[in-house]
Amino acid sequence: MNDRILRPTRRLFLGGLALGAASLALPRLFAADPELVRTVAQTEGPFYPTKLPVDTDNDLLIVNDNGTLAGGDITHLSGRVLDKDGTPVRNALVEIWQCDHKGVYMHPKAPDQDKRDGNFQGFGRFLTASNGEYYFRTIKPVPYPGRTPHVHFKIKRAGKELLTTQCYVQGEPLNDKDGIYKDIRNAKQREAVTIEFARMKESRAGDLAARFDIILGVVPEG
């Protein structure tokens, strides 16, 4: 696979270093943690890309380095991919996709394509290293008719799809009206996919940071 698809650019790597202090303040999961909650599987939905964009790196705010930022609240979305015992999963391909700040997906069947933010990539990929970490620069998700704000995730490894899920915004009033969210019957699993989008104190631009750790079941070798 193309390195641009899977690996962060040097610019994003440096940005990731800047997030270090904020990440240390967020909860971490360890293999000895008895409270690990397996991430619930959820629907892929109708808007997984039918054709991948030319640019599929982990910076969804800039398309092909054109220099114009997408609209929306800039969010540094990170986390780890772990197995059921809490061991970091290396070489896990993390894919995310979401609508732009106007509520429009990059998909030919999604409504309002004429209003879509052309500067928003809409889809990104990241390949985890030995620590299981992933990182994306994206926007805080917004609602659109029928759905509460969310980000879609798909995890692949060794050519196999391991999990498709979604993460949600903590404290969002629309969560309780969303059928897919309410379908998560287990309270701990629902809590695990409902994450905080917090202002970064060190960001003069008011960037947000969010962390979503993903706990898998059986992981194939590779």
Residues in the chain where the model's pLDDT stays below 50:
1-32
**For position 18, what pLDDT does the model report?**
41
| Residue 220, pLDDT score | 67
Q: What is the pLDDT of residues 102-148, one digit of tens each?
A: 999 999 999 999 999 999 999 999 999 999 999 999 999 999 999 99
Residue-wise pLDDT tens digits, 71-86? 999 999 999 999 999 9
User: What is the pLDDT, as a whole number, of residue 15?
Assistant: 46
Domains and CATH numbers, the chain: 3-28+35-215 (2.60.130.10)
3-state secondary structure the chain: CCHHHHCCCHHHHHHHHHCHHHHHCCCCCCCCCCCCCCCCCCCCCCCCCCCCCCCCCCECCCCCCCCCCCCCCEEEEEEEEECCCCCECCCCEEEEECCCCCCCCCCCCCCCHHHCCCCCCCEEEEECCCCCEEEEEEECCCCECCECCEEEEEEEECCEEEEEEEEEECCCHHHHHCHHHHCCCCHHHHHHCEECCEECCCCCCCCEEEECCEECCCCCCC
Q: In the prediction, which pLDDT does 53 show? A: 84
Mean pLDDT of the chain: 87
Q: Model pTM?
A: 0.86
The pLDDT of residue 218: 67
